[in-house]
């Protein structure tokens, strides 16, 4: 099994997004382009931008063998990286871009994404119905979901001495756990524990609620081992940390090395993050792009995501086909759709995203 990791993919927040998209023209994207269902795909080419190690290494070759479309895969590191590229010019040369849901929302609202031709994506029927009505893109007008999950507490019961249930277990740790916990530092996820513990929305733009969250986070800072977005599971395995804030899939990387590690969604609730596939309005190969999205939504293709990067996929047929032994080994893969839907979808906040940028900067900079 491959346990490759993308670097800050769903984890990427909204830094600079408001500036980036607001600088773009809003032309295109509103009209429904008529695509040719009988187009000769072998005459089209495709450039796909995706996070490294987030798809099979032979994806381009297999898609080309299936459709005749000569395909090039390029990688981006973060949502911010690809957004900057897509907004730098009228034609980035990218046909299909993988971005997290709130970024698809922002790019779609700015006219940078093509409306999907659902007649060319029949495999959408493999998705859970709930995956068609998510807050960032109801009806999947501009995007198709690729992977989804939530955020919680990843911990070693033998080191904590108990099973945490609340964000307050992280925000106000027991004395024996001081210096043994980590938090995510990316803007929306940094604020999440404090907002949820106070009963507030992770999408709040209320100044008083954000000020209270900042106050709590500054109090918590002195209790942390570190802010860590990439190696927190390794700190659990080594015993350097006892409890960390973690995305469910990334907790699995720790579980792969130490099966005693556990994951819990705090009782106050958490977020629902989604990574999506989008087609650029500037693409001159839209039939091929739609065919690519349809190919990915084939259950046999998308099962790879769960089996190799240990993320849940919103593809019911793919999840139904998973080996039960895999879910037994990695219980977060067994989080149900109903349980995910209880969480709060992260949405783009437009210019108010900068409030989180400021909060993040102030918390991280304060000694």
Q: Are residues 176 and 309 in the same domain?
A: no
How far out from the chain centre does Cα 132 lie? 16
Q: For residue 104, tell me if it sits in a domain.
A: yes
For the chain, how are helix, strand and coil distributed in percent, rounded to 5?
45, 15, 40
Cβ neighbours, 10 Å, residue 98: 26
Alpha carbon separation from 225 to 97, 141, 166, 254 (Å, rounded): 35, 42, 19, 17
Q: Are residues 76 and 206 in the same domain?
A: no
Q: For residue 11, tell me if it sits in a domain.
A: no
pLDDT at 8: 42
Give φ, ψ of 98 to 5 degrees: -95, 125
> What is the average per-residue pLDDT within 49-74?
95
Q: What is the pLDDT of residues 230-246, one digit of tens each?
A: 899 999 999 999 999 99
Q: What is the pLDDT of residues 206-234, one digit of tens each?
A: 999 999 999 999 999 999 999 999 899 99
Domain boundaries, position 154? 149-271+347-365
Confidence of residue 30 (pLDDT cuts 50, 70, 90): low
68: buried, middle or exposed (CB in 10 Å: 19+, 13-18, 0-12)? middle
Q: Are residues 266 and 277 in the same domain?
A: no
Q: Are residues 75 and 158 in the same domain?
A: no
Cβ neighbours, 10 Å, residue 88: 11
Q: For residue 2, tell me if it sits in a domain.
A: no
Work out the mean pLDDT of the chain and round it to a whole number: 91
> What is the average per-residue pLDDT within 98-111?
94
Cβ neighbours, 10 Å, residue 174: 15
179: buried, middle or exposed (CB in 10 Å: 19+, 13-18, 0-12)? middle
CATH code at position 280: 3.40.190.10
Q: For residue 175, tell me if it sits in a domain.
A: yes
Domains identified in the chain, total number: 2
Q: What crossing angle do the helices spanning 207-221 and 187-197 adopt, rounded to 10°?
A: 100
Q: What is the pLDDT of residues 72-93, one digit of tens each?
A: 999 998 888 899 999 998 889 9
Q: For residue 20, tell me if it sits in a domain.
A: no
Q: Are residues 257 and 181 in the same domain?
A: yes
Q: Are residues 189 and 260 in the same domain?
A: yes
Q: For residue 141, tell me if it sits in a domain.
A: yes
């Amino acid at each position: 099994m491959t346990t490759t990791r993308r670097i800050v993919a769903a984890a990427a927040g909204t830094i600079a997004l408001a500036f980036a998209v607001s600088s773009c023209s809003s032309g295109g994207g509103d009209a429904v382009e008529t695509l040719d269902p009988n187009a000769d795909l072998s005459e089209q080419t495709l450039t796909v931008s995706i996070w490294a190690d987030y798809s099979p290494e032979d994806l381009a070759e297999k898609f080309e063998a299936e459709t005749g479309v000569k395909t090039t895969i390029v990688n981006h590191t973060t949502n911010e990286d690809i957004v900057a590229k897509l907004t730098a010019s009228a034609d980035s040369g990218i046909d299909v871009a993988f971005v997290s849901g709130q970024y698809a929302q922002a790019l779609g609202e700015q006219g940078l994404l093509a409306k999907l031709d659902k007649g060319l994506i029949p495999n959408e029927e493999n998705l859970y119905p709930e995956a068609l009505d998510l807050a960032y893109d109801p009806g999947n007008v501009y995007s198709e979901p690729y992977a989804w999950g939530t955020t919680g507490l990843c911990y070693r019961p033998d080191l904590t001495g108990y099973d945490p249930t609340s964000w307050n277990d992280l925000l106000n740790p027991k004395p024996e756990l001081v210096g043994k916990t980590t938090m995510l530092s990316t803007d929306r996820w940094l604020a999440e524990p404090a907002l949820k513990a106070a009963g507030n929305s992770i999408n709040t733009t209320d100044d008083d609620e954000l000020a209270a969250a900042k106050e709590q986070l500054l109090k918590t800072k002195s209790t942390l081992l570190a802010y860590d977005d990439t190696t927190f599971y390794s700190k659990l395995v080594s015993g350097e940390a006892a409890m960390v804030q973690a995305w469910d899939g990334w907790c699995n990387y720790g579980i792969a090395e130490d099966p005693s590690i556990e994951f819990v969604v705090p009782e106050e609730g958490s977020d629902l993050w989604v990574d999506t596939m989008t087609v650029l309005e500037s693409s001159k190969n839209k039939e091929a792009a739609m065919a690519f999205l349809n190919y990915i939504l084939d259950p046999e293709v998308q099962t790879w995501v769960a089996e190799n990067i240990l993320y849940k996929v919103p593809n019911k047929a793919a999840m139904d086909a998973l080996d039960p032994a895999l879910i037994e080994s990695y219980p977060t893969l067994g989080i149900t759709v109903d349980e995910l839907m209880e969480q709060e979808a992260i949405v783009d906040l437009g210019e108010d995203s900068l409030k989180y940028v400021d909060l993040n900067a102030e918390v991280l900079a304060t000694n």
